[in-house]
Amino acid sequence: MHELSVAMSIVELATEYAEKEDAKQVKELEIEVGDFSGVVLDALDFAMEEAVRGSICEGASWKIIPVHPRARCRSCGHEFSPATLYEPCPACGAFGFDLLNGNELKLKSILVD
Ligand SMILES: [Zn+2]
């Protein structure tokens, strides 16, 4: 399962940080997940429960924050929020845009004790 390896690397990152800070416990995690990252939010939530077990993150709460994609049309520069990667620009109808965000998959913040 893809989400479990994602969750494990988030916990790993958090553990590294906590150790560096000499923390005893990780209290809170905020994880940003872009709509186009390929990660299923519910599955990640479930995977986190597995991943924190036995780690310094056990007992922590986490928030999974969905990030909606933003794109800029290559023809007219219009910025919009595409639902898929293959969508015409709503302003000029051209295909082809640069994705500004929506691929995020990162540990946004961490709170330790
Ligand atoms: Zn356009």
Domain that holds residue 94: 2-11+23-112
Check if the beta carbon of residue 94 is closer than 8 Å to that of residue 74.
yes
Q: Does residue 36 lie within any of the structural domains?
A: yes
The residue type at 66: P
Is 104 part of any domain? Answer: yes
- The answer to the question of residue 57 being in a domain is yes
Across 34-38, 75-79, 88-92, least confident range: 34-38
Taking residues 60-88, report their average pLDDT. Answer: 96
* Residue 68 alpha carbon to ligand 1 centre in Å: 19
Chain-wide mean pLDDT for the chain?
95
- Tell me how many domains the chain contains: 1
93 domain residue, yes or no: yes
Distances in Å between the Cα of 70 and the Cα atoms of 50, 73, 91, 101 are 32, 10, 14, 5
Q: How far is the CA of 96 from the centre of ligand 1 (A)?
A: 9
Distance 87 CA to ligand 1 centre (A): 11
Cα distance between residue 11 and residue 55, in whole Å = 8
Over 90: is that where the pLDDT of 1 sits? no
Q: How far is the CA of 72 from the centre of ligand 1 (A)?
A: 8
Are the beta carbons of 103 and 68 closer than 8 angstroms?
no
Is 16 domain-assigned? no
Ligand 1 centre distance from Cα of residue 95 (Å): 8
Per-residue model confidence as pLDDT tens digits over 36-60: 999 999 999 999 999 999 999 999 9
18 lies in some domain: no
Distance 32 CA to ligand 1 centre (A): 28
- Residue 3: band (very low, low, confident or very high) from pLDDT cuts 50, 70, 90: very high
Domain CATH code at residue 95: 3.30.2320.80
- Ligand 1 center to residue 77 CA distance, Å? 6
